[in-house]
Structure 1
Amino acid sequence: MTHEFKSAKGLELLDKVRSFCMKLPQVEEKVDGFGHTTFRVKDKPFVMMGENDGQPSMALKTNLTTQEFLLQQEGTAYSKTAYIGHHGWVSIQDTAWVAWSEIEDLMVEGYARTAPKKLVAELMASRPVY
């Protein structure tokens, strides 16, 4: 089984995630041993992506409070990620159901939970305050 992106929808999502994540300090894109495309900081993943039968999906590292909030929403597009969900990971099976700004916020949260404090401080200094 491969998780390689082949569909137009999957390739478009990958490009969108890549263009966002690669702007974060010291992020690398890497295909893991399971064939998932991952975005990592200091070799620790905070976003994992794959595709099955033309349907792209992504998993994001969150804290347990954020995970619980996302899972309890009515009609949620989120689910607890298999095998690693107990560490706060959530999966989005269909990203069309979620606002892109929410996905960006979750990617930043995942990055901040994964990166060393020095890189998080660098990121926060460069982000506009709303």
Structure 2
Amino acid sequence: MSPDPEAALARVRSYCLALPEAEEQMSHGSPGFLIAGGKFFAYFWHNHHNDGETVAIVRTTGHDEQAMLIESDPAFYYAPPYLGTFGWVAMRLDRDDLDWDRVDDRIATSWELAAPERLLEAGGR
């Protein structure tokens, strides 16, 4: 049985909001996570445009990293609509064999890519 979308959102929300200065804000009808007064670093989509997917979407360093991640595990990663063109990657959360440590690590990496220098200099996450 696949994980419950509400449980997946609770896990993503808990991890995102534990990062320094993280806030939640609705974005196009879905929860988004950003650094206070700054940039989004993660989104949670469930059945977005009736695609049947439950995903967390995070930043990458760009199209090369995005392509490498998708190539390394296409059953887990894919380029999401809209954000994929900017190098973001979606992680499928509706898998029975989901590795939450992997999800949490990618969220933290995405936070670091969005964080202002002052937070990174203060020790980051």
TM-score, with length taken from structure 1:
0.77
User: What does residue 60 of structure 1 align with?
Assistant: 58
TM-score, with length taken from structure 2:
0.80
Q: Which runs of 4+ in 1 moved over 4 A?
A: none
Identity %, equivalent residues: 26
Q: What does residue range 29-44 of structure 1 map to in structure 2 within 5 Å?
A: 29-32=24-27, 34-41=28-35, 42-44=37-39
User: What does residue 102 of structure 2 align with?
Assistant: 102
Q: Output the CA distance in 2 between the equivalents of 1:116 and 1:37.
A: 21
User: What does residue 88 of structure 1 align with?
Assistant: 87
Q: CA RMSD in A?
A: 2.2
Structure 2 unaligned segments of length 5 or more: list them. none
Residue 10 (structure 1) shift:
1.2
Q: Output the CA distance in 2 between the equivalents of 1:49 and 1:91.
A: 9
Report the 3-state secondary structure (helix = DSSP H, G, I; strand = E; otherwise coil) of the residue aligned with 2:45: strand
Report the 3-state secondary structure (helix = DSSP H, G, I; strand = E; otherwise coil) of the residue aligned with 2:85: helix
Report the 3-state secondary structure (helix = DSSP H, G, I; strand = E; otherwise coil) of the residue aligned with 2:122: helix
Q: Output the CA distance in 2 between the equivalents of 1:117 and 1:40.
A: 15
Q: Output the CA distance in 1 between the equivalents of 2:22 and 2:44.
A: 15
Q: What does residue range 1-130 of structure 1 map to in structure 2 within 5 Å?
A: 9-32=4-27, 34-41=28-35, 42-52=37-47, 55-64=53-62, 65-96=64-95, 97-124=97-124
Structure 1 unaligned segments of length 5 or more: list them. 1-7
Aligned pair count reads: 117
